[in-house]
Amino acid sequence: MPAAFPMIRDVAGLRSGEFDVLVIGGGIYGAWIANDAAARGLRVALIEKHDWGAGTSSASSKLIHGGLRYLEHFEFGLVRHALAERRVLSHIAPHLVQALNFLVPVWRDARVGRLQLLAGLTLYDLLATGKQPVPRFKSFARAKLLEAHPYLRADGLRGGLRYGDCQEDDARMTLVVVAAAQAAGAVCANRIEAVTLLEQDDRVCGAQLRDSLSGAAFELRAGLVINAAGPWSRDLLGAEAEPVKLVKGAHLVLPAISGSDADTAFLLTAPADGRVFFVIPWYGRTLVGTTESAVADPSIREVTPAEQRYLLDAVAALMPGLGWTDADVVGAFAGVRSLQADDADNLSSVTREFIVLEPRPGVLWPLGGKYTTARCDAVDVVDRALQLLQRDAVPCTTARTLLPGAPSEIPGQGDFSGWQTEALPALLRRGIDAQATHYLTLRHGTRIARIHQLLDENPLWCQRLHVDAPFIVAEAVLAIRDEMAFDSDDILRRRMPLKLLVRDPQAAIAAVEELLREAAKSELQP
């Protein structure tokens, strides 16, 4: 069985024989399905047309959360489901999933009043069974809230409440789950496109694939195809595909809020239309989002001027002391997700419930869900796959299997900060600045040992790729050698989100492209 890292783009393995399951789509759902299926003994192939997490799974709000706003639409089962997963993920990936405090200011003219919020947060905590990684909610008086956060709108402010959820780097976590799938025995390769589905005896039996790096085409046979391509899933299914609702969410990246605690976020309600949005600290910047709009094509992922205006206006109305304008926007991104089609006019009320469809014999199509619940939703998919393949039921183990990089010495839900405190000084002695050192431990966990190896090879790789982003050159080298990265976008958008955090990434792009050229030369040498 291979290790999780280095990740191996095993095209030869894909061509070597028949598989039990072909998973199409390398987002968070495809990654967890492949990981679970391989861990339960199935022979699994996992392919991705572009790069791991290149679509929706690198364009989320970067949260592992129960979804407080879903309580308003009475989706209690979904919230309970997500809160249970928040606990599981914080246990199996303490280096990737970090607790985050959310403040909910309450104004006199708020659509949701204080009593309603108190009831909702009480229920939120009650639904979070078991030992949770965050504290229970707490109330704050108006004066204390304004003292700590003077940029809030004072007019009509009645106080606020604080509750806990968790944060992660969505693209990084997706990559780590793919690596875990490889360690469980899955054969994985990005830059492999499923062109068409293969059929035999009126049943899908695999797919015609194309390697975009070499241009080679080949067939892969499998007992079952799991179409986990998210909003692109319907492209392969044709007429058999049920209608879906494609919803685009946009985010802005803005400067850090001066003086704000690094672990404090805000849940706010836009005055224009009553929609909930977040203001979240992330890598020394602030994420603001999300909007929601229906789209007809999943490739429509640009943040429009109207969406930017909507978010900036909402922040200006509720946090006027920040004074943010268009000139303060550092970056922007948007993603599209596919949800069950329904007649709801309000996109916020469209259900996020997860279902597994069988549009054609030999094909499973996971639909709906959310990033937080992808692991446990994958359990349902693999259970169904075992039934269709007429295999014995095998229990899922992913809820108790640590993801690569998680310190194994932490019993149960022990304190990750203990391991981190011991790891930081050695990185600092390498000449890495304190902020970059902090994020190295959160992104790589125990795999910082590999960072040390690279710095032994070249101590100058301790330098930042860009002065305004907390990522070092060694991480780019690691991405090329160990993480199946092939271009600057793989490295600077997904292995690390540098392109989202700086205004002018050209110097970092040039540095990474030089590293890619050097790596290509070394591969050609005998």
- Burial of residue 411, with CB atoms counted within 10 A of its CB: 0-12 exposed, 13-18 middle, 19 or more buried: exposed
Q: To 10 degrees, the CA torsion angle through 462, 467, 468, 470? A: 0
| Within-domain flag for 422 | yes
**pLDDT for 412:** 46
| Within-domain flag for 130 | yes
pLDDT tens digits, 12-23? 999 987 899 999
pLDDT tens digits, 89-121? 999 999 999 999 999 999 998 877 787 888 888
Rg (CA), the chain: 23
132 φ/ψ angles, rounded to the nearest 5 degrees: -105, 155
- Same domain assignment for residues 254 and 149: yes
Question: Range of 17's domain?
Answer: 11-56+171-242+352-400
What average pLDDT does the segment 41-66 reach? Answer: 97
Report the CATH number at residue 232.
Answer: 3.50.50.60
Q: Is pLDDT above 50 for 413?
A: no
Using alpha carbons, list the distances in angstroms from residue 295 to 140, 350, 383.
40, 14, 32
What average pLDDT does the segment 483-505 reach? Answer: 98
**pLDDT for 343:** 57
pLDDT band at 253 (very low <50, low <70, confident <90, very high): very high
Least confident of 2-6, 14-18, 74-78: 74-78
pLDDT band at 347 (very low <50, low <70, confident <90, very high): low
pLDDT band at 58 (very low <50, low <70, confident <90, very high): very high
Beta carbons of 498 and 489 less than 8 angstroms apart: no
- Same domain assignment for residues 136 and 210: no
- Same domain assignment for residues 48 and 176: yes
- Same domain assignment for residues 115 and 37: no
| Within-domain flag for 265 | yes
Output the average pLDDT for the chain.
93
Least confident of 83-97, 118-132, 273-287, 365-379: 118-132
Report the CATH number at residue 273.
Answer: 3.30.9.10
| Count of other CB atoms within 10 angstroms of residue 408 | 8
Q: Is pLDDT above 70 for 505?
A: yes
| Within-domain flag for 385 | yes
Q: How many domains does the chain have?
A: 3
Cis geometry, peptide bond prior to residue 6 (ω within 30 degrees of 0):
yes
130 or 8: which leads in pLDDT: 8
pLDDT band at 523 (very low <50, low <70, confident <90, very high): confident
Q: Is pLDDT above 60 for 155?
A: yes
Q: Given 367, 400, 433, which residue is the final one in a domain? A: 400
What average pLDDT does the segment 401-426 reach? Answer: 82
Least confident of 220-224, 418-422, 427-431: 418-422
Please provide the DSSP assignment of 306-358 as one string: HHHHHHHHHHHHH-GGG---GGG--EEEEEEEEEE----SSGGGS----EEE-
**pLDDT for 113:** 72
- Same domain assignment for residues 180 and 306: no
**pLDDT for 350:** 56
- Same domain assignment for residues 118 and 236: no
Q: How large a percentage of the chain has pLDDT more than 70?
A: 95
Question: What one-letter code names the amino acid at 395?
Answer: P
| Within-domain flag for 2 | no
Q: Given 400, 432, 462, which residue is the final one in a domain? A: 400
- Same domain assignment for residues 345 and 356: no
- Same domain assignment for residues 42 and 108: no
- Same domain assignment for residues 445 and 515: yes
pLDDT band at 169 (very low <50, low <70, confident <90, very high): very high
**pLDDT for 131:** 79
- Show the DSSP H helices in 191-338 as ranges: 233-237, 305-318
Distance CA 11, CA 38 (A): 17
| Count of other CB atoms within 10 angstroms of residue 224 | 25
| Within-domain flag for 411 | no
- Same domain assignment for residues 259 and 118: yes
pLDDT tens digits, 195-223? 999 999 999 999 999 999 999 999 999 99
Distance CA 330, CA 502 (A): 6
Q: How far apart are the first and last CA of the chain?
A: 28
Distance CA 522, CA 277 (A): 47
- Same domain assignment for residues 461 and 344: no
- The tokens describing 82, both together, are 């997500």
- Same domain assignment for residues 249 and 279: yes
Distance CA 323, CA 337 (A): 32
**pLDDT for 348:** 53
Could you tell me the pTM of the whole model?
0.96
Q: Is pLDDT above 50 for 230?
A: yes
| Within-domain flag for 69 | no
Question: What one-letter code names the amino acid at 65?
Answer: H
Distance CA 74, CA 67 (A): 11
| Within-domain flag for 92 | no
